[in-house]
């Protein structure tokens, strides 16, 4: 049976944290399958250290039908793109290798997508941050509140966990940043700008939660911020033209 949803999970050097994250995603997959929604897991291991590799590949709750992608690109955007290239679902969903989700996360996203016309990208309704700090935020929904694209000049209103039809990701691939080499960062923020520029609306899925692990170091956002990285030029605000 062809999957309705392919879930792209990127792992790097999460170590033991990868166990809880993967278990959360596997439980959500089981819940979706019980609801009649076939879910494919695409697990991307990008320059994964030995501990992360052993934990992901040897997770006791894997069923053997997961897609494992061994990558060595060293970039969150390129790692996601490699996973996307291996996915076969009608819809794709991106997740990170150290976070958690609510149990019915996948089916609620699929159910809303199936009954929502138009060019939309879906996000969890609430983000609960934990770890280094504790807080929660509501994700912006363009259809239920005033929205101006200018907001994206100063902040990213959505986390990197997104859900959309497969063609959205193939038409608008993630752009590699490689902040240490280029000074560019925040590939998910840039992707959000690109999709808004292309006319997509970002919509929150009611009663879904994403549990975002805040770490003092080691995350892509933390390292990009420490380097003073800036976003690459986007179609939303105009591209630089070389003389």
Which helix (H) or strand (E) segment is 7 a member of? Answer: strand 5-11
Mean pLDDT of the chain: 90
Rounded average pLDDT over 112-121: 94
Contacts of 20 (CB under 8 A, 6+ apart): 100
Q: Does 85 have pLDDT greater than 60? A: yes
- pLDDT of 222 reads 52
Higher pLDDT among residues 110 and 229, named by residue: 110
Q: Among positive and negative, which fits the CA dihedral 64, 66, 70, 75?
A: negative
State pLDDT tens for residues 181-240: 655 568 899 999 999 999 999 999 999 999 999 977 555 555 545 555 677 778 887 654
Which helix (H) or strand (E) segment is 42 a member of? Answer: strand 39-46
Q: Are strands 67-71 and 39-46 parallel, antiparallel or unpaired?
A: parallel
Tokens standing for residue 243: 């003389």
Lowest mean pLDDT among 19-23, 65-69, 173-177: 173-177
State pLDDT tens for residues 51-73: 999 999 999 999 999 999 999 99
Prediction pTM value: 0.90
Tell me if 69 sits within 8 A of 82, measured CB to CB. Answer: yes
Q: Are strands 100-101 and 201-214 parallel, antiparallel or unpaired?
A: antiparallel
CATH superfamily of 5-226: Spore Coat Polysaccharide Biosynthesis Protein SpsA; Chain A (3.90.550.10)
């Amino acid at each position: 049976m062809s999957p309705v949803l392919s879930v792209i999970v990127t792992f790097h050097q999460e170590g033991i944290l990868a166990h809880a994250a993967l278990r959360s995603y596997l439980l959500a997959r089981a819940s979706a399958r019980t609801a009649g929604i076939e879910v494919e897991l695409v697990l991307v291991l990008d320059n994964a250290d030995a501990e992360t590799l052993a934990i992901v590949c040897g997770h006791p709750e894997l069923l053997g039908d997961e897609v494992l992608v061994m990558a060595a690109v060293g970039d969150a955007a390129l790692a996601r793109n490699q996973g996307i290239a291996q996915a076969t679902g009608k819809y794709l969903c991106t997740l990170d290798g150290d976070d958690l989700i609510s149990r019915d996360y996948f089916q609620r996203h699929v159910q809303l997508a199936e009954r929502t016309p138009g060019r939309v990208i879906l996000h969890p309704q609430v983000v609960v941050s934990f770890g280094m700090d504790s807080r929660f935020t509501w994700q912006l929904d363009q259809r239920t509140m005033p929205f101006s694209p200018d907001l994206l000049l100063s902040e990213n209103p959505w986390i990197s966990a997104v859900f959309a039809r497969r063609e959205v990701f193939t038409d608008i691939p993630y752009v590699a940043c490689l902040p240490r080499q280029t000074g560019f960062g925040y590939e998910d923020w840039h992707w959000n700008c690109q999709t808004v520029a292309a006319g997509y609306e970002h919509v929150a899925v009611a009663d879904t939660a994403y549990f975002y692990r805040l770490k003092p170091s080691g995350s892509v956002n933390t390292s990009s911020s420490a380097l003073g990285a800036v976003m690459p030029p986007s179609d939303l605000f105009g591209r630089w033209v070389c003389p």
